[in-house]
A and B are shown apart, each in its own frame.
Chain A
Amino acid sequence: MRAGLAGWVFAAPALLVIGAFFFVPVLGAFAVSLTDFDLYALADLRNLRFVGLDNYRELLRSGDFWSALGNTCYFVAAGVPLSIGASLATALLVNSRLTLLPAFFRTVFFAPVVATLVAVALVWRYLLHTRYGLINWGLGGLGLRPIDWLGNPHWAMPAIILFAVWKNFGYNMIIFVAALQSIPEDLYEAAHLDGANGWQEFSRVTLPLLRPTMMLVGVLTVAGYFQLFAEPYVMTEGGPLQSTMSVLYLMYEQGFKWWNLGSASAIAFLLFLIVLAVTALELHFSRRRESA
């Protein structure tokens, strides 16, 4: 009993901070999501109406929410494998004994992660420019027609994905490099003695030992990519034809542009539930594979 009390006392500061800065705001936001809090309510709280689950019902009925969710899922489904693939590939390259100047390349690949998003987005907007952009100039050299990257609703999301992958892959690369360096060298030696070729070494030694790291990276990246916001905010403002409108962007517009804080809170909760469900699924599958 006494030991238990001591434990609570030691944990109390952390719990208080978490409670004050996490649980209270979250509960507050949930309460707001059950009301029609808007500009009029800001003027006078008597203009606030309790609407139950109406905000949620309306969102699930509105085309805007579903198309934003579709765009976000597209971004996650294409962006996460590309991003993790790029991270793993560059990690293997940087970690290879044949690579000259590994520290230099590690820095170069990590540089986009620390570069200011708004600044590099401006550079990318020029790279992607239909008439003056370097990318279309390269396509022209290959005899392809120029693509209106940020103006065509079919190409805007691929352009955003390309940009986001380029911006983010360095972070996971560093995690992979650390994991690769922790794989004991003698396992590769043993595999080599058993006559394994390069691909077999990679698929039978490297990948299985990377699995815990892979799971960590997968969970973090999926959760991060579901919160797509800054890239479309600075590159396309959600356009053209709302094709790069993400769930979080929709929430921002509802909350901070139109001051429909009730509806915005409801979007935040729906996104939270979606990310929670997807993460739970990921953990479930990776555990099953481990036990299999």
Chain B
Amino acid sequence: MGREGEVIATLLPQFERLHPDIEVRVQQLPWSAAHQKLLTAFAGEATPDLCQLGNSWIPEFAALEALEPLETSVAGSSVVRSADYFPGIWQTNVVEGRLYGVPWYVDTRLLFYRRDLLAQAGFPSPPRTWSEWRQMLAAIKARVGPDRYSVLLPLNEFEPLLVLALQQPEPLLRDGGRFGNFETPGFRRALEFYREAFTNGWAPPVENTQVPNAWEELGRGYYSFYISGPWSIGEFKRRLPPEEQGSWMTAPMPGPEGPGASLAGGSSLVIFRRSQHKPEAWLLLEFLSSPAVQRRFYDLTGDLPPRRSTWEAPELADDVYTRAFREQLERVKPAPRVPQLERIVTEMRLMAARVVHGDLSIDEGTRELDRTVDAVLAKRRWMLAREAGR
């Protein structure tokens, strides 16, 4: 999919040399159409053998019973060793106790920030806790005045709030993903912090369509903190002029009390249940999972590898920008693993925007969100009850 779909063509000749009897045909999908095309392929019984799948989609395709469980293959494999993978990322592939995918590359969110602006405000290093972060946000806002801000939290992106929520002790769904669990002290704390960022003028109340070039805006100092993922490293390197290159840096997410968790995102490799070539697909999966191939993949795409041993490579271990990601990856948590995840986080984002706008209080917002999410999960409860009765 996307860039990965283009790059894989350069990795495959090596695989085909190792296994001359296997011919690999690649079909590229654009990310924007991938989800729909795969569901259509499932309905039309034309799913591929091996496929890259965004790890938040795995529960959905698992619910369709479209994916081949991989526990036995992994147990017998000398290449794919689960202990070598970052645990939070590995967990995203486990649904109801079964393993449906092997992480291919990882994607988590953390802070991109302006070192120089932070230093001018009197802070030599990035925040480790929310209270340090609050002080910095307030100090920067006091310096830049009414037309500039401290942090960008686009109101149409769910990820920033989801990261703050994942840092809390309570899970976002309760009773095995049967009900919403948003009226907890933890989620309210996250929502409170999120709202505070807007009411104090730390974050501009905008959607990302109004900040079409978030990287250059950080370079211009429109805000000093930006929560984003690994792809932004390349974007900053490419888009900021040379004289601004020294001004930005990455840092792990601060948490409520100390270094905080972030979202375990990324893509996995899955094998479809209907595949006629499962052993061959597994060989290719192993090939793509080996540290040597993952290093080449990183060189080609900048996608961060999910295995600790791959991270020992000097181009990753010694890079000043990826270092924060290496630290963050030890502290990533999967989002709730239910097929309705995307709907749930969308409802969360819509509710949060109304809270920020002042239409709802924290109490009303969390109560309404629990009610909406309970309704979204109604069919799932019925399915689970029926399975239990069988």
- The residues of A with any CB-CB pair to B shorter than 8 Å are 36, 38-40, 42-44, 47, 125, 129-130, 148, 150-151, 153, 235-237, 239-242, 256-259
Contact = CB atoms under 8 A, between A and B. Distances in A.
B64 A241 contact: no
Contacts of A130: 206, 210
Nearest to B60: A39
Nearest to B359: A241
B88 to A, nearest CB: 26
B324 interface: no
Q: Identify which of B36, B60, B207 gathers the most chain A CB atoms within 10 Å of its CB.
A: B207
A89 to B, nearest CB: 32
Interface in B201-215: 205-207, 209-210, 212
B156 A39 contact: no
The binding surface of chain B is classed by DSSP as helix
Contact of A43 (B64, B210, B212, B340): B64
Contacts of B339: 39
Interface residues of B, number: 28
Contact of A241 (B39, B42, B60, B354): B354
B209 A150 contact: yes
B119 interface: no
Q: Identify which of B64, B209, B340, B342 gathers the most chain A CB atoms within 10 Å of its CB.
A: B209
A239 B156 contact: yes
B359 A239 contact: no
Contacts of B43: 42
Nearest to B147: A131
Given A237-B156, A240-B155, A241-B357, 15 more contacts: A40-B379, A42-B39, A130-B206, A151-B205, A236-B209, A240-B156, A240-B207, A240-B353, A241-B353, A241-B354, A242-B350, A256-B36, A257-B343, A258-B343, A259-B39
A148 B342 CA distance: 28
B377 to A, nearest CB: 12
Interface of B: 36, 39, 42-43, 60, 63-66, 155-156, 205-207, 209-210, 212, 339-340, 342-343, 350, 353-354, 357, 359, 379, 383
A36 B36 contact: no
B383 A47 contact: yes
A239 B39 contact: no
B155 A239 contact: yes
10 contacts: A39-B339, A40-B383, A42-B42, A42-B64, A43-B66, A125-B209, A240-B353, A241-B359, A258-B340, A259-B39
A241 B65 CA distance: 36
A121 B342 CA distance: 26
Given A40-B383, A43-B64, A153 B357 contact: yes
Contact of A39 (B63, B155, B354, B357): B63
Nearest to A125: B209
A130 to B, nearest CB: 6
Given A40-B383, A130-B210, A259-B39, A239 B353 contact: yes
A36 B205 CA distance: 37
Contacts of B342: 257-258
A39 B64 contact: yes
Contacts of B379: 36, 38, 40
Contact of B206 (A151, A236, A242, A257): A151
Contacts of B357: 153, 241
Nearest to A149: B210
